């Protein structure tokens, strides 16, 4: 049986730039050199974190993408035997949107592959941009502070406070549909934040 592969994703550079522009426009202004203005104070109850002294926002979690989604999470979601999924390959992926972004890739010929991308500092703006631009193409899921499933891209986005977790199976050997395991893994990741 051929492995099921995710279709080519339409999240191209132009789409990324559009999301960046929307996220930047949605970001609250903070007059006075990085200090929040009255009425824009971060809400710890909502998971927002005050900017660090350097002017850089503090990530909403100290956990990496490989710690937010573990091999045991994947095994549980795919009903695999314990020890089937090996440790993921971690990579820091700082970018324009979030200097603390990171990614974990799980890949194995016996079960498939999963990419876990975490935006720990500015996830809420990225999530809001996704909802604004692509919300009508997504299924809203009641997990954390918000979750979206994009059937056409086989991607899930899960928000908790300032942390956005993106999950995308690259393929599954047994042909399991991606949605349900993605949602189960996303819920486990959000539960750790």
Q: Check if the beta carbon of residue 120 is closer than 8 Å to that of residue 61.
A: yes
The DSSP result for 40-107, as a single string, is: ----GGGT--PBPTTSPBPPS-S--HHHHS-HHHHHHHHTPPTT-SPPPEEEE---SS-TT-EEEEEE
Task: Compute the distance between CA of residue 164 and CA of residue 190 in angstroms, rounded to an integer.
Answer: 9
Task: Give pLDDT tens digits along the chain (193 positions).
Answer: 334 444 434 444 334 434 444 443 343 333 333 333 333 333 333 343 443 445 667 889 999 999 999 999 999 999 999 999 999 999 999 987 799 999 999 999 999 999 999 999 999 999 999 999 998 999 999 999 999 999 999 999 999 999 999 999 999 999 899 999 999 999 999 999 9
Structure tokens given for 15? 């789409």
Q: What pLDDT, on the 0 to 100 scale, is given for residue 133?
A: 94
Q: Which domains can be identified in the chain, with CATH numbers? A: 60-193 (3.40.1000)
Global model pTM greater than 0.75: no
Q: Taking each helix axis as running N to C, give the angle between helix 179-191 and helix 71-78, from 0 to 180 degrees, rounded to the nearest 10.
A: 140
């Amino acid at each position: 049986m051929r492995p099921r592969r995710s279709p080519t994703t339409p999240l191209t550079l132009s789409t990324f730039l559009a999301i960046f522009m929307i996220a930047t426009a949605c970001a609250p202004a903070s007059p006075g050199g990085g200090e929040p203005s009255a009425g824009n104070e971060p809400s710890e109850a909502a998971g927002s974190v005050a900017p660090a002294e350097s002017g850089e926002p503090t990530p909403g979690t100290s956990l990496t993408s490989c710690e937010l989604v573990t091999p045991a999470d994947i095994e549980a979601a795919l009903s695999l035997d314990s020890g089937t999924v090996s440790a993921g390959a971690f990579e820091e992926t700082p970018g324009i949107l979030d200097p603390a972004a990171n990614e974990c890739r799980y890949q194995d010929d016996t079960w498939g592959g999963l990419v876990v991308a975490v935006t720990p500092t500015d996830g809420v703006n990225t999530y809001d941009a996704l909802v604004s631009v692509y919300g009508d193409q997504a299924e809203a899921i009641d997990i954390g502070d918000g979750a979206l499933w994009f059937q056409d891209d086989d991607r899930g986005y899960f928000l908790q406070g300032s942390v956005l977790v993106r999950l995308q199976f690259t393929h599954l050997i047994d042909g399991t549909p991606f949605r349900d395991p993605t949602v189960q893994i996303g819920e486990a990741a959000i539960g750790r934040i």
